[in-house]
Amino acid sequence: MRNWTAEAVARVTKGSLIGYPNLEVQGCILDSRQARGGEMFFALPGERVDGYDYIEVAWKNGAVLAIVDETRFKRAETKLNVPEGKALLLVKSVFIALQELAQNWRTELKAKVVGVTGSNGKTTTKDMIYAVLAKQFRVYRNKENNNNELGLPLTILNAPPGTEILILEMGMRGLGEIKSLCEIAKPDIGVITNIGTTHLELLLTQERIAQAKWELVEALPNDGIAIINAEDMFSVQKAKEDSHSICFYGIEGAFAKPNIKGIQLRSWGKLGTTFDVNYKDQKMSANLPLPGTHNVLDALAALAVGTVLGVSLDKGCIGLSELELSKMRLEVRQGVLGSVLINDVYNANPVSMQASLEVLKERANGNKTLAILGDMYELGISAESGHREVGRTLAGLGVSWLITVGSLAAEIAQGAQKAGYGEDQVTVTGSHNEAVEKALDLLASWGTGTWVLIKGSRGMRMEEITAKLER
């Protein structure tokens, strides 16, 4: 954001200012430890952590303006003394103030906004879109997956002056949440990677998940463009009912003819993929530093956004080759005892776990393979069937050994064994330490060259297993 004054922030939020009105404010934070100088600190109330208690820390670390709920300020036993060169802004709701300021800066910035959502791959797709668009524009995006009602406005407010395109990942846990994010972001282009079963626990049916995701497309202006996966049945069905311009991307074109198509996928380096891209009368080769068909689809979505915004296909492909991903997604690391680790621990659902297993088997190239898989959360009534489906895929691929971590992941073992996988190829564990101990035994007996996949839902903290197996 540009240099606002504390007084200007007070005007937008209709709050009461205490302290120095002419202070210049740049950047915003929710964590007092992140202050570097000049920021406004949103003192959000919470059940476990109350931002009000950290206002003085934020000021000490360099923040100049603290924004706090008026009622919280009035009921505080110890009143804050605003130091010299600082300001305190009392508002009815810190949460609403954050969103109002983001809306205001979104309007002033006059940037194009690309919204990204989907059941799988939205963070990776966001990073790929950034790589493509950054070849031609000044671009800003969410850090990691700051994609909710706090992270999205925070991202907008921290977008620097001169930003031409904002790429905003949008997460959701229920109906109406993406709609609310779109009221702040006002997207011009909407990308839906796919509509799967993540959040089935909350929304109960895949049709309701589709409805929730489609709120992004419904929020687009009349001349907005939706970028849709031609391989995803629910997305294509929704697109057929929608009046917006649709750009389909795909490989096979299972449910719609792709406007931009990927063909002839082949391995590139240890974990990369080369593929050819067809768009209108153009054909170009792309080198993607990631494996798997699912990642090629995400790359095609990014190239589709690029073409819509005037980035040439060759520039877009160069951008993909220089891709830098958010952490803990299909990272290749050197493991102990000559093993190769695929650290894919950011999150997991049945679709992404099956895709990662395919990557494991493909890239091992005949070497021994070990899958260490943890619980997948938020599957609701599909928890058992979703885990067993992963087990069936693992058995069909012929992965050498399976170690499960957690009670839900034990169902992966059940699914594998019912599909003919040997009982002597499975170890069911309840802790990281058990899993690591068994993995070390296997790696020692198999020798060098074993490929190991570590994956599970974020709450399982599977990266702790990776750390213990890393060389």
Rg (CA), the chain: 24
- CB count in 10 Å sphere of residue 416: 26
According to the model, what pLDDT value does residue 269 have? 81
Is there a single domain that holds both residue 35 and residue 180?
A: no
- CB count in 10 Å sphere of residue 50: 16
Q: Is the residue at 12 inside a domain? A: yes
CA distance 448 to 211: 48
CA distance 227 to 189: 7
Residue 100 pLDDT > 70, yes or no?
yes
According to the model, what pLDDT value does residue 77 have? 80
Give the pLDDT band of residue 441 (cuts 50, 70, 90): very high
Domain boundary among 321, 350, 374: 321
Is there a single domain that holds both residue 220 and residue 298?
A: yes
Is there a single domain that holds both residue 133 and residue 219?
A: yes
Helices (H), 322-452: 350-364, 383-397, 410-418, 432-446
Is there a single domain that holds both residue 393 and residue 413?
A: yes
**pLDDT averaged over every residue in the chain:** 93
Q: Is the residue at 98 inside a domain? A: no
Residue 406 sits in which domain range? Answer: 331-469
Annotated binding site: 118-124
Find the length of the chain: 471
pLDDT digits (tens, 9 = 90+) for 34-68: 999 999 999 998 878 899 999 999 999 999 999 99
- Among 122-131, 189-198, 361-370, 406-415, which is the least confidently predicted range? 189-198
Is there a single domain that holds both residue 83 and residue 213?
A: no
pLDDT digits (tens, 9 = 90+) for 169-206: 999 878 999 999 999 999 999 999 999 765 455 555 77
Q: Is the dihedral of CA 117, 120, 125, 127 positive or negative?
A: positive
Q: Is the residue at 100 inside a domain? A: no
CA distance 231 to 212: 19
Domain boundary among 263, 288, 321: 321
Annotated binding site for ATP: 118-124
Q: Give the CATH number of the domain where residue 276 resides.
A: 3.40.1190.10
CA–CA distances in Å: residue 56 to residues 48, 150, 247 = 18, 22, 50
Is there a single domain that holds both residue 36 and residue 152?
A: no
Could you give the percent of the chain with pLDDT greater than 70? 97
- Of all helices (H) and strands (E), which one includes residue 181? helix 177-185
Domain total of the chain: 3
Q: Which of 73-82, 207-216, 410-419 has the highest mean pLDDT?
A: 410-419
According to the model, what pLDDT value does residue 202 have? 54
According to the model, what pLDDT value does residue 49 have? 87
Q: Give the CATH number of the domain where residue 379 resides.
A: 3.90.190.20
Residue 120, judged by CB atoms within 10 A of its CB (0-12, 13-18, 19+), counts as buried
pLDDT digits (tens, 9 = 90+) for 127-138: 999 999 999 999
Average pLDDT over residues 300-317: 97
Q: Is the residue at 99 inside a domain? A: no
